[in-house]
């Protein structure tokens, strides 16, 4: 059985690599922007919907499994996408400053083009009150990589300094619910 990570996220690849698990990473074959427009459900279910679409977009042998994952940042009933520019990143951080937002993670495993496992996680993230100078310093330290992060932060890096309280699973916040995911992969291997 081969494990395929249906993601081009460096954070997800690193998380999985650090477990010692052997896997292949493949970019999902979906147009995420188009899928977001097609989605008509509840905003809190968007991450799971996208995770499923990503996993099912990768064709593989019948014994292999595909991991699909996505995250959605929800604040004031608005979904935040990855910032398209440093200016947009600054704007997002100003809007999230001194407030609590939800980071919703959806993770799935598919086999034979069917979803066989789903995991949902909601983290409540409360930022410090950030000054313009703090935001500018943070963005300067973080560099362009921050444009690959929803909410303009990576909790495993400088982003940790932005928060006064986090209520949720650290691994899910970074990109994958590792504890639950590894338990499930172990069960799948044992059931062969």
Catalytically active residues are 70
- DSSP symbol at 107: E
Stretch (H or E) spanning 115 = strand 114-127
Rounded distance between C-alpha atoms, residue 146 and residue 168, angstroms: 21
Partners of 167 in the β-ladder: 124
Stretch (H or E) spanning 17 = helix 10-17
Rounded distance between C-alpha atoms, residue 150 and residue 161, angstroms: 16
Backbone angles phi, psi at 38, to 5 degrees: -70, -25
Distances (CA, A) of 38 to 44, 72, 148, 182, 192: 15, 16, 22, 32, 37
Rounded distance between C-alpha atoms, residue 45 and residue 40, angstroms: 10
């Amino acid at each position: 059985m081969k494990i395929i990570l249906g993601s081009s996220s460096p954070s997800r690849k690193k998380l999985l690599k650090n477990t010692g698990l052997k896997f292949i990473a493949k970019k999902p074959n979906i147009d995420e922007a188009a899928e977001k427009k097609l989605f008509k459900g509840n905003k809190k279910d968007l991450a799971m919907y996208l995770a499923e679409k990503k996993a099912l977009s990768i064709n593989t042998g019948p014994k292999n499994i595909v991991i699909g994952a996505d995250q959605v940042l929800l604040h004031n009933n608005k979904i935040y996408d990855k910032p398209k520019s440093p200016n947009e990143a600054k704007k997002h951080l100003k809007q999230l400053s001194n407030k609590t937002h939800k980071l919703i993670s959806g993770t799935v495993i598919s086999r034979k083009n069917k979803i066989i496992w789903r995991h949902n996680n909601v983290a409540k993230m409360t930022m410090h009150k950030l000054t313009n100078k703090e935001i500018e310093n943070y963005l300067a330290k973080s560099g362009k990589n921050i444009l690959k992060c929803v909410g303009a932060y990576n909790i495993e890096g400088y982003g940790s300094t932005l928060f006064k309280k986090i209520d949720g699973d650290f691994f899910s916040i970074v990109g994958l619910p590792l504890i639950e995911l590894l338990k499930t992969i172990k069960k799948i291997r044992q059931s062969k």
